[in-house]
Amino acid sequence: MIDFFIDGVAVQAENGHTVMQAAVAAGINIPSFCWHPQLSVPGNCRICMVEVEADGGAWFDISCNMPVVSGMRVLTDSEKVKELRKDTMQFITLNHPVDCGICNKSGECLLQDHHFAYNGMPSLSRDPKTHATKFYPLSERIMLDNERCIMCSRCVRFTAEISKSNALGVENRGDHSLIRPAADVNFDDDVYSDNVIDICPVGALLSRELLDHARVWYLKATPSVCPGCERGCSINIWHRKAEWKLNALDPRLNTRIDRITPLDNPAVNGPWVCNKARDLSRIFERARATQPMVQGAATSLSEAIAAAAELIANAQHPVAFVSSWGSNEELAAFHTTFDSTFTSFVKADWTVQPGERIADDVLIKPDKNPNTFFARTMFSPMPDDASVAVPVDTDVLLVWGDGVALDAVPATTRVILLTSYDLPGHSRADVLLPISVQTERSGHYTNFAGVVTAFAQCFPKHANVSDAAILFEAIYAASSHVVGAR
């Protein structure tokens, strides 16, 4: 470790680290635009300039590219540093539009923050601003506003160094520089493309889905886990704050997913997620099953629980298909209550969809379910031929979650279905019990590497919808009463 000083405070840095890296590790803020901890150092923006005290006189350089030297004394907020940053902000904002009121990055914009901290003055220039392309479609998912771009090159470096698509580059020079897609690469093929929206420090790169959808100050972030594959990336699910509830519009707008962003987790996904995580609303917000059913007729939740308990109590050869989307808590609850009752198999609730990337060396894993690893610590994996798991003498089949074609279940087998979604074939179930989705409960998943990550509840449940763990306990208690009454 190397000992040196930042603003008079003794700090330690690892060998080879820069002043910026050491400052971040010590919790000291140095402003930046182009620097990102996971990307190479271009030294474009110059806003991270610091002063180094020396016997021969102070000198100045950018902290993102300044190696730490033992005993060096760095000043991050001296009067001269403030003056240099003010000049830098004047340069960066020379042609930047002042459209903060309508910019989707407003509220999360580093340019706003640093302008307020280090400049806060109108432009000294009286020349007309140089105009550029306002709405350039980089892809089907991303819109580019070149007038807001400050050429930090984060997006270009991301596609070159992280996603390896090399889909973006810089065209022309000086005031005429533009971010543009590579001629021989389709940016839509980059399954990590939306990360460039997150790392853009200004409002230049915009989600076309969110563009006219919501403003950040109306939203709150709930920490969660992406269930899209066995990686289990940490994410933030953004949804409307209770204090900004919509009253005159569709009330469903208050309980929908407005956007999803990565939640930095070095043990799992770092600061990145794939585009499938961004599109989780397409999975979670499918038509829901909210009505308990017995023999195809609507009934109360208590009567559906009683019917399920009756079937289980009278079963001679019951089989259960366990959900690989169940949380650790739900899987443990099923194991505690019904492990000795059922012959249980862990099924895949979700499989690879047409056109979906199966796996890569960045984040994406081949199993498209979040909790198979933990489920298989308690239950057997589903045989390759699922019909083998349901022999002819199976009298009751409990299906928890998606992924099972109920029409293929033998006609003599009674079916208890715990499901979140209203899908074709559900009329085959003798008992249907609606269960919550991940955004309606809290819990944990264990990913393929054994890392446990928590997710929190975002939205309330429908009155007829229960968590699977609560249903297992209720059905078990009711079935015990049936057996005891004999």
Residue 242 lies in a domain: no
Tokens of 35: 């620097």
Secondary structure element (H or E) that encloses residue 2, with its range: strand 2-6
Regarding beta strands 293-294 and 431-434, do their DSSP bridges make them parallel or antiparallel, or are they unpaired? antiparallel
Q: 333 and 409 share a domain?
A: yes
199 and 167 both lie in a single domain: yes
Q: Is residue 405 part of a domain?
A: yes
Domains contained in the chain, number: 3
For residue 371, what pLDDT is reported?
A: 98
How far is residue 373's CA from residue 365's CA, in Å, rounded to a whole number?
13
Task: Please state, in angstroms and rounded to a whole number, the distance separating the CA atoms of residues 286 and 67.
Answer: 52
Indicate the residue type of 283. I
Count CB neighbours of 3 within 10 A: 12
User: Alpha-carbon distance 319 to 345, whole Å?
Assistant: 8
Yes or no: say if 435 and 418 are a contact pair by the CB < 8 Å rule: yes
Structure token digits, residue 344: 């249980």
Contact of 123 with 221, CB cutoff 8 Å: no
- Amino acid identity at 167: A
pLDDT for the residue numbered 485:
56
Residue 218 domain-assigned?
no
Cβ contact 371:327 at 8 Å: yes
Asked whether the beta carbons of 406 and 428 are under 8 A apart, the reply is: yes
Distance CA 17, CA 74 (A): 14
75 falls within a domain: yes
Quote the domain boundaries for residue 59.
Answer: 2-92
The string of DSSP letters for 435-483 reads B--GGGS-EEEE-TTS-EEEE---SPPPTT-B-HHHHHHHHHHHHHHHH
Count of CA atoms in the C-beta half-sphere (13 A) of 4 = 26
- Whether 250 is in a domain gets the answer no
Please count the other Cβ atoms lying within 10 Å of the Cβ belonging to residue 337: 20
How many Cβ atoms sit within 10 Å of the Cβ of residue 360? 14
What phi-psi label fits residue 60: left (phi over 0), alpha (psi between -120 and 50 degrees) or beta?
Answer: beta
Assign residue 78 the CATH number of its domain.
3.10.20.740
Residue 446 shares a structural domain with residue 314: yes
Same domain, 171 and 30: no
Q: Are 146 and 170 in contact (CB under 8 A)?
A: no
What is the chain's Cα-based Rg? 28
Cα angle 198-18-167, degrees, rounded to a multiple of 5: 35
DSSP code for 16: T
Domain CATH for 173: 3.30.70.20
Rounded Cα gap, residues 428 and 409, in angstroms: 9
Domain contains 222: no
The C-alpha torsion from 264 through 269 and 271 to 273, rounded to 10°, is: -120
Angstrom distance (rounded) from CA 447 to CA 456: 17
Let me know if residue 429 belongs to a domain. Answer: yes
103 and 84 belong to one structural domain = no
> CATH no. for residue 397?
3.40.50.740
Tokens of 345: 């198999």
Domain membership flag for residue 191: yes
What DSSP character marks residue 251?
G
Instruction: Examine the domain organization and report whether 86 and 131 are in the same domain.
Output: no
Instruction: Please state, in angstroms and as integers, the Cα–Cα distance from residue 220 to each residue in 56, 156, 239, 283, 444, following that order.
Output: 51, 29, 6, 21, 21
For residues 298 and 197, membership in a common domain is answered with: no
Query: How does DSSP classify residue 101?
Result: G
List C-alpha distances in Å: 350 to 323, 366, 370, 371, 380.
10, 11, 10, 11, 18
For residue 53 the two structure tokens come to: 């005290």
**Which of 192, 213, 234 is the C-terminal boundary of a domain?**
213
Q: Are residues 425 and 308 in the same domain?
A: yes
* Cα–Cα distance, 325 to 364 (Å, whole number): 17
pLDDT at 483: 58
- Beta-carbon count within 10 A of 304 CB: 24
Q: Give the pLDDT score at 122.
A: 83
Q: Which residues make Cβ contacts (< 8 Å) with residue 18, sequence separation at least 6?
A: 41, 63, 64, 65, 66, 67, 68
How many Cα atoms are found within 13 Å in the side-chain-facing hemisphere of 118?
30
216 vs 132: CA distance, rounded Å: 26
Q: What is the pLDDT of residue 379?
A: 97
Q: For residues 351 and 394, state if they share a domain.
A: yes
Instruction: Assess whether 306 and 397 both reside in one domain.
Output: yes
Q: Are residues 58 and 137 in the same domain?
A: no
Spans of the chain, pLDDT less than 70? 482-486
The distance from CA 176 to its chain's CA centroid, rounded to whole angstroms, is 35
Statement to judge: residues 299 and 410 lie in one domain: yes
